[in-house]
Homo-oligomer: A and B are copies of this chain.
Amino acid sequence: MRLSRYFLPILKETPKEAEIVSHRLMLRAGMIRQQSAGIYAWLPLGHRVLNKIQRIVEEEQNRSGAVQLLMPTIQPADLWRESGRYDAYGKEMLRIEDRHEREMLFGPTNEEMITDIFRSYVRSYKDLPLNLYHIQWKFRDEVRPRFGVMRGREFLMKDAYSFDLDKERSTEAYRRMFVAYLRTFARMGLTAIPMKADTGPIGGDLSHEFIVLASTGESEVFLDKDILDLPIPGEDTDFDGDLSGIIEQWTTPYAATDEMHDEAAFGAVAEDKKVSARGIEVGHIFHFGTKYSEPMGAKVMTAEGKEVPVQMGSYGIGVSRLLGAIIEACHDDDGIIWPKEVAPFHVGLINMKAGSECDEVCESVYAELEKAGVEVLYDDRKTSAGQKFASMDLIGLPYQLVVGPRGLKTGEVEVKDRATGDREMLTPEAAVNKLISALKG
């Protein structure tokens, strides 16, 4: 993408309203714009990252056997009366009346609707297990939205819902999601730690939060640092097999948010392994059994011909919130440092003197990189080199490729690694090869 044809409105000033670094950087890097309190437009750069995060979530959900569908944003109030949550939800629910004065709402979550879909089609144990997920915009009318996309009102969430015949199989479904989550966050370059959690308004008896460590995190967390070194389950994980070993491995070292913190248990952790830190919740999984299937009449026939309410769980990932969490975990004083897998582009190509002999070299490396599937943002504008460097550092693409008149005198261009700051002078050909092998190898 040529920057001269893109829409990347970088802000020079630090916006006053931004209290945390991810919010500040997303505004400055032209990724988002607030349209109302807690409601954001995703400008092109932000939208690209949102899409990449969504793709990773989808790939890992699909790998674990979940099936994607898409439920609407607007729901009828009556469904929520069936579960008893319509009144319970309070003012966070955005309630709407349509032109025929029917009571509707902008869905904050979808337990009721998916249970409704399930009960209208599924009758037999033969159709189980089933795990249905979607990625859709939700709305929660927070009394005081803040921290940018970390606590917005309109937000993108992945929510999956499992349906099983009995508690044991439902626990297996829970384990599949647990493992899928470990893979999902790791692929985004994050260390996300599962912690036993309170079930809150969703209900149920088994629940974990996935927490990313960041000094600006909303909650205090306590953990045994052994958990930081555990291996992430591989691509070849057999999701039809027994996953209990992985779960045990990940739930044995102490890890808890302040809500669930147990001083005595934490006391038993070796002194040099105790970590207390701050964290950001990026996922939350629940097993809640028949909490919704019972009142809503979602039943299946067992092999013995008996009707039983289906066992359910739900599994959320804060897709839009993840952008904020990743930036909180990956930035420096100059700006964002995107992990490769979620970077909006892989390489920022800087033409230090547009309109000079630099153009030809830039065009050639641009074409070669794009041909190899490397996503390049080419700064071909006639602005100062200093401004170009600052913008590229701010938006945080993994590599910068700098083409300037001085380097070209000896036939060289510069490759800069945004994360380490390492710079190297190479021929254009060697630079292209280096970037292709680093990014596509």
Contacts and interface: CB of A to CB of B under 8 A. Distances in A.
A117 B67 contact: no
B154 A73 contact: yes
B117 A33 contact: yes
A323 interface: no
A62 to B, nearest CB: 9
A76 interface: yes
A40 B76 CA distance: 12
B106 A74 contact: yes
A44 B73 contact: no
A44 B69 contact: yes
Contacts of A113: 35, 41
Contacts of A434: none
Interface in A51-89: 65, 67-76
A41 B67 contact: no
A33 B72 contact: no
Interface string A123-150: 0000000101010010101010000000
A5 B163 CA distance: 12
A410 B94 CA distance: 64
Contact of A70 (B42, B69, B74): B42
Given A39-B74, A41-B72, A33 B120 contact: yes
Interface stretch (A96-104, A246-254, A387-395): A96-104
Nearest to A41: B71
A104 B36 contact: yes
A85 to B, nearest CB: 16
Contacts of A102: 36
A9 interface: yes
Nearest to A91: B99
A50 B136 CA distance: 14
Interface string A149-166: 000011000000000000
Contact of A9 (B72, B104, B121, B134): B121
A9 B117 CA distance: 10
Q: Which of A99, A102, A113, A122 has the most CB of B within 10 A?
A: A99
Contacts of A47: 68-70, 134
Given A7-B132, A141-B99, A143-B99, A75 B44 contact: no
Contacts of A39: 72, 74
A57 B75 CA distance: 28
A414 interface: no
A102 B141 CA distance: 12
A42 B67 contact: no
Interface string A1-45: 000011101000000000000000000001001011001111110
Given A120-B33, A143-B99, A68 B40 contact: no
Contacts of A65: 5
Contacts of A71: 35, 41-42
A344 B94 CA distance: 34
A359 interface: no
A5 B127 CA distance: 8
A341 interface: no
Contacts of A220: none
Contacts of A172: none
A92 B106 CA distance: 17
8 contacts: A7-B69, A42-B70, A43-B117, A47-B68, A73-B106, A74-B139, A94-B98, A106-B106
Return the 10 tightest CB-CB contacts between A and B, nearest first: A9-B121, A42-B70, A91-B99, A41-B71, A36-B76, A99-B141, A39-B72, A47-B70, A72-B154, A44-B69
